[in-house]
Structure 1
């Protein structure tokens, strides 16, 4: 099978490596074997998408990959994961490519809403509130959505402190559960992947990391399930 391509729409190579490690572990656990994974970091842009302007610039850059990147132009991959929570460029890639394209934001929200569950989102980027809520509406999930809870402070500074990031996100998840009555919580951000893994076993409801959710969604597509 051809490999999966994971695109990191920001410029942080360390974030790409972290998300790729998570994705590879998820792909490897798939029964019956699974594709290998290649990862691509944006050569220009921002190290973390924290503003609406960052998201718009990332969407343009990701969309251009379908015209310029060798693996995509030559049809050398079996599917693409866009690993930013706002799913920048996903719509354009779906128009231009013949392979499945999965955004981590959409995949995580849809997984959270399965079986009629009310879901919340816990994340660090309060300035992205409007685009997160717009994404919920775009995917037709308003009826299942019970709100988004944000950590306080600068998201990039928090991201450099893994223990503090995990603790802050744990508080946000707890608020989703206790105040908003969420039955599942999505951790809203690819760079939050390690914290999402750590939190996935701390609560009595599903706490969903977006990168594994995207891998599961893509594997189901490739297998013709759902």
Structure 2
């Protein structure tokens, strides 16, 4: 099974973190193909950057072509996720949705813990986008500067563990999500220092992508994520334009 691991940010070191954590979680026989955005921002933290990252994610999916059983948009706010599900027929998994749905199967209420306050408003909207407000105990974010986005998890490990335990004590969360692509792999490392289960979004996303691919769910021909009819485009990247105009077969995924 071949799964596309798509980082819509430009930091290749973060892609490496995502790949390493995802590979550890993957089943035997699953091949992860990791790609990093060639343009955009080092990490998505604002609404504007999420809009840009979502468009770039669609371009990257179109450029990747066929041959994939599923794809993962590996940014926690799931930029471009719903649009991708419209355009492409193979399963598309979002980091945030996968983590939150997994958390809902582990406990009644989850808290999201992240490394920067700037992420909190976007993450709150992501929770609402997925209809999970009633299951979210809260979003906790560090209010500290950091030296490097690719090193933030090691730099802020102790502070993130403390914040996770505060979420348990004060928000009454019974599961914690350590969120943001730069924190990939941290949950496994610190899980015994947090008093409730800790979810790693990339591990959840890989496993859910495998499940959806194995189920071979057909593409919707009606409803929310049906593929739109063709329409002309101007100035888009050629692979994405071809998908929107129905000029190619690249929207088909295979196992």
Residue 62 of structure 1: CA displacement?
0.8
Determine whether 1:95 maps to 2:94: no
Kindly state the Cα deviation for residue 145 of structure 1 after the two structures are TM-superposed.
0.8
Report the 3-state secondary structure (helix = DSSP H, G, I; strand = E; otherwise coil) of the residue aligned with 1:147.
strand
TM score, norm. by length of structure 1? 0.88
Matched-pair contact (CA < 8 Å) for 1:8–1:39:
yes
Measured after TM superposition, the shift of residue 52 of structure 1 is 2.2
1:23 equivalent in alignment to 2:18: no
Q: Which is greater in Rg?
A: 2
Partner of 1:50: 45
Runs (5+) with no aligned partner, structure 2: 218-255
Match of residue 76 from structure 1:
67
Structure 2 distance, partners of 1:155, 1:50, is 14
| Partners of 1:51 and 1:127 within 8 A in 2 | yes
Matched residue, 1:11: 10
Q: Is residue 2:117 matched to residue 1:118?
A: no
Unaligned runs of 5+ in 1: none
1:186 to 177, 191, 199: 177
Structural RMSD (CA): 2.0
- Check whether the contact 2:177–2:200 (CA below 8 A) recurs between aligned residues: yes
Q: CA deviation at 1:18?
A: 1.4
Higher relative contact order (CA 8 A, sep 6+): 2
TM-score by length of 2: 0.79
What's the counterpart of residue 36 of structure 1? 31
* C-alpha contact 1:120 1:176 (8 A) present in aligned 2: yes
Partner SS state of residue 213, structure 2:
helix
Separation of aligned partners in 2, 1:49 and 1:120: 20
1:125 Cα shift? 2.5
